[in-house]
Chains A and B, each alone.
Chain A
């Protein structure tokens, strides 16, 4: 990323390097850079990095938040695999990723495929509308969707209205349907982000590629796999990363719509973390959830970055 700015150069000769620093820097002794960074670094380190370190420390303790803590070794981490509540929460998070990430990406691709064939009028309008769920507070979205999924809510009214009343149910109160219902809310939020990303990407794919594909006799499906999909490689990775991160740390929607219920049907790691740290006094265990979640997010980001590495390089700074 930053490699391109220091072109070539003999790295072994420090004197020349220092000379170049001086020439490239805008007329300041380069040490002044530290002063510019210092205020931000202090706030960032004290309020964010230091507590993160403390989280790691906490995750190795048994602590109820009040009395003296005792060393726990890795037990808080092994608990992630043995405690059925925690296993459930992480399992739900993985299921929700299908809704939060995979489905929005697929919807976005579907649209991008359709869009690649024509020039759409009113793009600005569609983009604004589709992106809107991203902008509204998750808490508000949760309340909005509760009204739709309620027993006498919009969804059930529509179902009854078109004679499918037998399908009507208490969506958020059902052991089977609560998790997919929460997932639908996530898909609704993530959909616009993916679409907007892919629409922008699809417009950048050279039209000649489509012409060429058509001359070669490729149908719509061939064309999609041969031209659109490779052309959107970078956008897909960005979309997957953003939606997966937001899916993994999802808390607001669950808190507002189901509170993890019915039973533990819709608990997620962040919800378990909140419960344990601030309701049931298992602070160490909560710390381990937080660290595990962070590692998971980090891995997802890294892995997706890896997958697209090599191709599509340099398209975006």
Chain B
């Protein structure tokens, strides 16, 4: 190959520049989180002078009510991820390995959900749920996000079922396993990688969702973390250290999962564009 030294240097240089660009804002938050509380009054970066101030996290946790917010986010995320995964897997199984009239049309109906932004249904949904007394409850967040996750889950899992080996299904069938058993005892255990991707991506989307939370929740007790942060920012904008500590608390769960399961994350998020 005729790869010159300049090519090599240039490539690494460009990569390094953009890596730094992508890290700096996040490292800024991380460093501010350990800074002295009350510093960075103008909203700038607070540097951790004279030692790391771990107390910011404790303060955000208690004074900032982030223990409540994190609890709410956890309940919402776990419910959405589990319910959506089970329902999407079942539907995708039918779309993937069964033939019945209207299956294509129904499948595209689900895929349509991938291009429907929250903006397209959030207003009537708010009035509907308010009439049912479900706003200002975690249901107001769980229901719409389950539906949104279903759109992705059905699309994603159908691809898996379509590509799963027909001979495996055939063999299980000959052994007398019925379709329900084939799904849960054969295909689901085999499809761990595909399912992992679905789980982590829907978890992240649910954890990070802001607009739905802002619309559906108005009382402090039901706020999820992104919403909590927005209100916290309004109340403590002068205290960047505390605000940054809250940011770290929010980002950490997703970033940890991301670091461990990077491949699944990227695969799932890049599949979002539906190719017709």
Interface 1/0 per residue, B176-200 and A, CB below 8 Å: 0011001000000000000000000
Q: Is B7 an interface residue (CB 8 A)?
A: yes
Check B11–A277 contact: CB distance below 8 A. no
State in angstroms the CA–CA spacing of A115 and B12 once bound together: 9
Check A140–B24 contact: CB distance below 8 A. no
Interface of B, helix, strand, loop or mixed by DSSP = helix
Pick out which of these stretches binds chain B: A76-84, A95-103, A175-183, A185-193: A185-193
Interface residues in B92-133 by Cβ distance below 8 A to A read 93-95, 97-100, 103-104, 106, 109-110, 113, 115-128
Interface 1/0 per residue, B224-247 and A, CB below 8 Å: 011001100100000010011001
CB neighbours of A291 from chain B (8 A): 120
- Closest approach, in angstroms, between the C-beta of B116 and any C-beta of chain A? 6
Q: Number of A interface residues, CB 8 Å?
A: 111
Interface 1/0 per residue, A116-140 and B, CB below 8 Å: 0110100010111111111111111
Check A107–B117 contact: CB distance below 8 A. no
- Closest approach, in angstroms, between the C-beta of A289 and any C-beta of chain B? 7
CB neighbours of B127 from chain A (8 A): 65
Interface residues in B36-95 by Cβ distance below 8 A to A read 40, 42-45, 87-88, 90-91, 93-95
Check B173–A26 contact: CB distance below 8 A. yes
Check A118–B11 contact: CB distance below 8 A. yes
Which residues of A approach B to under 8 Å, CB–CB? Answer: 1-2, 5, 20-21, 24-28, 30-34, 36-37, 39-41, 43-44, 46-49, 51-52, 54-55, 57-58, 65, 107, 110-111, 114-115, 117-118, 120, 124, 126-141, 143-148, 150-154, 157, 188, 191-193, 195-197, 207, 214, 234, 237-238, 241-242, 245, 248-249, 251-252, 255-256, 269-270, 273-274, 277-278, 283, 286-287, 289-291, 293-294, 297-298, 301, 305, 316-317
Contact (A249, B210) CB under 8 Å given A117-B7, A146-B43, A256-B230: no
Q: Is B159 an interface residue (CB 8 A)?
A: yes
- Closest approach, in angstroms, between the C-beta of A227 and any C-beta of chain B? 15
A-B contact pairs, 27 of them (CB 8 A): A20-B99, A21-B100, A36-B90, A44-B113, A46-B147, A51-B123, A51-B125, A54-B124, A54-B128, A111-B18, A114-B7, A117-B11, A120-B15, A129-B23, A132-B26, A135-B258, A137-B210, A139-B208, A139-B230, A140-B29, A242-B272, A251-B210, A269-B119, A286-B123, A291-B120, A297-B117, A305-B276
Check A249–B115 contact: CB distance below 8 A. no
CB neighbours of A134 from chain B (8 A): 269
Q: Number of B interface residues, CB 8 Å?
A: 107
State in angstroms the CA–CA spacing of A135 and B178 once bound together: 40
State in angstroms the CA–CA spacing of A148 and B15 once bound together: 22
Interface 1/0 per residue, B241-255 and A, CB below 8 Å: 001100100110011
Contact (A283, B88) CB under 8 Å given A48-B147, A130-B18, A139-B229: no
Check A290–B15 contact: CB distance below 8 A. no
Check B26–A147 contact: CB distance below 8 A. no
Check A150–B42 contact: CB distance below 8 A. yes
Interface residues in B5-21 by Cβ distance below 8 A to A read 7-8, 10-12, 14-15, 18-19, 21
Contact (A129, B19) CB under 8 Å given A40-B154, A144-B247: yes
